[in-house]
Amino acid sequence: MKNYVIGLDYGSDSVRAVLIDTENGQELASDVCHYKRWKNNEYCNPSINQFRQHPLDHIEGLELTIKSVVAQANVNPAEIKSICIDTTGSSPIPVTAEGTPLSLTKEFEHNPNAMMILWKDHTAINEANEINELAVSWGGEDFTKYEGGIYSSEWFWAKILHIIREDEAVKKAAHSWMEHCDYMTFLLIDDKDLATFKRSRCAAGHKAMWHEDWNGLPPEEFLTKLDPYLAQLRGKLYNETYTSDLVAGKLNQEWATRLGLTTDTIIAVGTFDAHSGAVGAKIDEHALVRVMGTSTCDIIVASHEAVGSKTVKGICGQVDGSVIPGYIGLEAGQSAFGDVLAWFKDTLSWPLNNLVYTSDVLSAEQKAQLKEEVESNFIKTLTEQAEAIPLSESIPTALDWVNGRRTPDANQGLKSAMTNLSLGTKAPHIFKALINSICFGSKKIVDRFEEEGVRIDSVIGIGGVARKSPFIMQTLANVLNKPIKVCASDQAPALGAAIYAAVAAGIYPNVIEAAKKMGSDFESEYFPQADKIEKYQELMDSYSELSQFVESITK
């Protein structure tokens, strides 16, 4: 018999499934499902940084994609040994005592506060500030120290604190809260006991201040000072956490029937997309894996000996076993990467959407053809013209903080800015400035790791931006002054999830051995261009000056 596994990867806009042959990592089938409610901007209010998703988008996507890859591959269901799920995070969901999301009940089916609070939701900035102030003033342990020393509004406790203060009905109805990766895993398994369910080490360690040093989550004494509700909630959460090479349970009968699989199928402990992406890219010590999409996550693994008792300041956490069991996983990232360019495209598209595509001069067919042509050429043409602008020409300086700053030193209250505009500044100049900005933001992260003693010898890029934009990747290589290899897989996070699944099923003894056999190859490599490094350093200095100024005037 052959052994196959499924990796299920939840991104911000869609979910994708891959069915993988564990012998060699060959992808037999893949499928993608976009979230229809999210696509319609339901439950979101970008003006206040509110981004919520309905669990039905994720449940429907799970069923559609897994059924599709099983049908495409046409393999014996008994040979599909395991499934592992990765998701964005921190994206908590309020649930009942049975583990049902409140938004799947009649009373809360359209209440945004009962939805999944997506990672990019920044409505909890004030609550994050409270946590940070308390952590250094309450007289006890600083529970943020393994999370970079600054707790973010993107994370678990801040989001819950915001919701329960804003919505009394959700507060009363929520028995507990679950991270997205935990809920989707819980949905599939046969043992429906929330008290014994195996929660993700990635989610708990990087986002919920869980650490072995204080025997799990922050104690009730600390949480009470934030809100008595959080202290009561702690007892309904978890004490232990588990790495994603372990078994969470077996597929329950309902979902085995719905997916066309068997109840012998193992479900691995859930994980985060960036961490599984790093595994899919065959991460090793001293290699920085950059997962580049709407935002970025930057992942490094280091031995216990290399890290010792040191805590790295201003990152998104360092957690034992969060990426590869037996190693410390360190995470950083940018709140916006591709989103910076998407914002600019949306801004430039305003005349098209409000004047051209609504014009009575054009027929419906002409509008459709024009829209298709514009969509296929928009970024391509901007890129070509931006790339042609010499570095000697006056280029604006921009900040990449359109969605705040994740690292180094989380501050989601920061806003983007631009300087050095003139009458000669055209759209391609601004586009080039924005590309520079996301690369400069990346350099700040690399500099912080190296300043804190974390060695980086190489960089690996994964995700759509890495594979589709040679201009961005070459600019990044020049700014970082490091070579960058690009992962060949279209679905590195899903592939990484499949690798975890193979270990959980006992097909490989550990994640490192599984990744050697199943991990992605590399399709290209970018090297720093010696004649451009000095000029990019000058532009980087301008970025640093602007960032210091903007931060100094931000209240």
pLDDT in tens, 70-115: 999 999 999 999 999 999 999 999 999 999 999 999 999 999 999 9
Encode pLDDT of 182-212 as tens digits: 999 999 999 999 999 999 999 999 999 999 9
330 and 299 in contact (C-beta within 8 Å)? yes
Encode pLDDT of 464-501 as tens digits: 899 999 999 999 999 999 999 999 998 999 999 999 99
Helix (H, G, I), strand (E, B) or coil at 487: strand
Encode pLDDT of 240-258 as tens digits: 999 999 999 999 999 999 9
- pLDDT of residue 171 exceeding 90: yes
Q: How far is Cα 448 from Cα 439, in angstroms, rounded to an integer? A: 14
% of the chain with per-residue pLDDT over 70:
100
Helix (H, G, I), strand (E, B) or coil at 207: helix
Helix (H, G, I), strand (E, B) or coil at 282: coil
Q: What is the pLDDT of residue 508?
A: 98
| Residue showing tokens 């920085």 | 288
**What DSSP character marks residue 107?**
G
H or E segment to which residue 39 belongs: helix 36-39
Q: Which of 275, 285, 345, 247 is nearest to 87 (CA)?
A: 275
Instruction: Report the residue count for the chain.
Output: 555
Which residues, including other chains, have CB under 8 Å from residue 123's CB and lie 6 or more apart?
Answer: 48, 49, 50, 153, 159, 162
| Residue showing tokens 């650490």 | 211
Q: How far is Cα 123 from Cα 120, in angstroms, rounded to an integer? A: 9
Q: Answer whether the bond into residue 469 is a cis peptide, omega within 30°.
A: no
Sign of the torsion angle spanned by Cα atoms 91, 4, 190, 199: negative
| Residue showing tokens 């056999």 | 517
Q: Find the helix packing angle between 492-504 and 273-280, rounded to 10°.
A: 80
- pLDDT of residue 358 exceeding 90: yes
Radius of gyration of the chain (CA): 23
- pLDDT of residue 151 exceeding 90: yes
- pLDDT of residue 510 exceeding 80: yes
Q: In what order do the strands lie in the sheet with 458-462?
A: 318-320, 328-334, 296-302, 287-292, 458-462, 484-487, 522-526
Strand partners, 21: 4
Task: Please return the burial class of 500, using the count of CB atoms within 10 Å of its CB with bins 0-12, 13-18 and 19+.
Answer: buried
Average pLDDT, the chain: 96
**What DSSP character marks residue 260?**
T
- pLDDT of residue 534 exceeding 80: yes
Half-sphere exposure of 277 (CA within 13 A, CB side): 33
Q: How far is Cα 135 from Cα 402, in angstroms, rounded to an integer? A: 27
Residue 342 phi/psi, 5-degree rounding, is -65, -40
Residue 408 phi/psi, 5-degree rounding, is -75, 145
**DSSP per-residue letters across 293-311:** SSSEEEEEEE-HHHHTT--
Q: How far is Cα 465 from Cα 2, in angstroms, rounded to an integer? A: 34
Stretch 505-532: mean pLDDT, rounded?
A: 96
Q: What share of the chain is helix, strand, coil (3-state, %, to 5)?
A: 45, 20, 35
CA terminus-to-terminus distance, the chain: 63
pLDDT band per the 50, 70, 90 thresholds, residue 555: low
Q: What is the pLDDT of residue 272?
A: 96
Dmax over Cα atoms in the chain, in whole Å?
Answer: 70
Q: How far is Cα 280 from Cα 511, in angstroms, rounded to an integer? A: 10
Q: Which of 313, 243, 552 is nearest to 454 (CA)?
A: 313
Q: How far is Cα 26 from Cα 23, in angstroms, rounded to an integer? A: 8
Stretch 377-401: mean pLDDT, rounded?
A: 96
Task: Please return the burial class of 253, using the count of CB atoms within 10 Å of its CB with bins 0-12, 13-18 and 19+.
Answer: exposed
The beta strands (E) that lie in 242-347 are given as 247-250, 266-268, 271-272, 287-292, 296-302, 318-320, 328-334
Of 310-314, 382-386, 452-456, the range with the highest mean pLDDT is 382-386
The first and second tokens of residue 287, run together, are 């290699």
The first and second tokens of residue 549, run together, are 């100024």
H or E segment to which residue 171 belongs: helix 168-173
Stretch 534-553: mean pLDDT, rounded?
A: 96
Half-sphere exposure of 281 (CA within 13 A, CB side): 37
Residue 293 phi/psi, 5-degree rounding, is -140, -130
